[in-house]
Structure 1
Amino acid sequence: MTTTANTRKAGPWLVLLLAGAFEVGYALSVAGSEGFTILGWSISAAIFFLLTLFCLSVALKAIDVGIGYAVWAGIGAVGAALLGPVFFDEVLSPVRASWLAVIIGGVVWLKLADSPRSRRSPAEVTA
């Protein structure tokens, strides 16, 4: 596979990672807005919302919707859970951290399942 082909494959995944990062920003902003009663956090939430949906829609042009959505949601959930204690009065217990590790493992396996090698038919593998 050429470098250009690798870049074409990596591009949508990088945009999906960016969408996930914006999703974390959105979740944290919604929490900080306290029911959209704090203007700065509310504006931040609206901006992150638009950015995450735009990037997700771009990424889903090349990534299957089921896998892309699961990865995006997983990044958002893990990121919000890890950064919630940093920005807000939240607790990340060992049990929660363990389940977050399960989510991270699932996201990694979904990415591996989307690799070209896993998409080959049995006839292509034996050939």
Structure 2
Amino acid sequence: MLLLAGVFEVAYALSVGGSEGFTVLGWSLSAVVFFPLTLLALSVALRAIDVGIGYAVWAGIGAVGAAILGPVVFDESLTLVRAFWLAVIITGVVWLKLADRSSRETEKPASVAGPAA
């Protein structure tokens, strides 16, 4: 669900960029559709994920996705310096997720043995 929220966030960011201050109808309508979708998907994902981790991953997906697709959809540039910092963001998101997974594993209660057979 968090990945879906991230995809919706990328679509929303690109839509807002294309709307040119909400003066282009098609892009504006797209932004109006994707904004509640990204919030809904994020809120569902946060039922099972800590808010700090979930928000960081969601924002990272949105930032990286918009930065990568911006040059494809619009006439933007993706320089080597920007690509480096995107790699830093992606690395940070992956480390956050791995840290969250390892902390959840250490919090699991020991399994209780069932009745003797």
TM-score bucket of the superposed structures, by smaller chain: 0.7 to 0.9
Equivalent in 30, 37, 40 of residue 54 of structure 1 = 40
Which has the greater radius of gyration?
2
Any stretches of 5+ residues in structure 2 without a counterpart?
Answer: 111-117
Q: Could you tell me the percent identity over the aligned residues?
A: 78
Normalised to the residue count of structure 2, the TM-score between the two structures is: 0.88
Equivalent in 91, 94, 109 of residue 108 of structure 1 = 94
- Displacement of 1:118 after TM fit? 2.9
- Structure (1/2) with the larger helix percentage: 1
Residue 67 of structure 1 corresponds to: 53
- The equivalences for 1:7-86 within 5 A come to 15-86=1-72
2-structure distance, mates of 1:32, 1:73: 19
Any stretches of 5+ residues in structure 1 without a counterpart?
Answer: 1-14
The list of structure 1 runs, each at least 4 consecutive aligned residues, that deviate by more than 3 angstroms after superposition, is none
- Displacement of 1:113 after TM fit? 1.2
2-structure distance, mates of 1:39, 1:21: 21
Aligned pairs, how many? 107
Query: What is the one-letter code of the residue matched to 1:16?
Result: L
Q: Is the partner of 2:15 in helix, strand or coil?
A: helix
Normalised to the residue count of structure 1, the TM-score between the two structures is: 0.81
Query: What is the one-letter code of the residue matched to 2:49?
Result: I
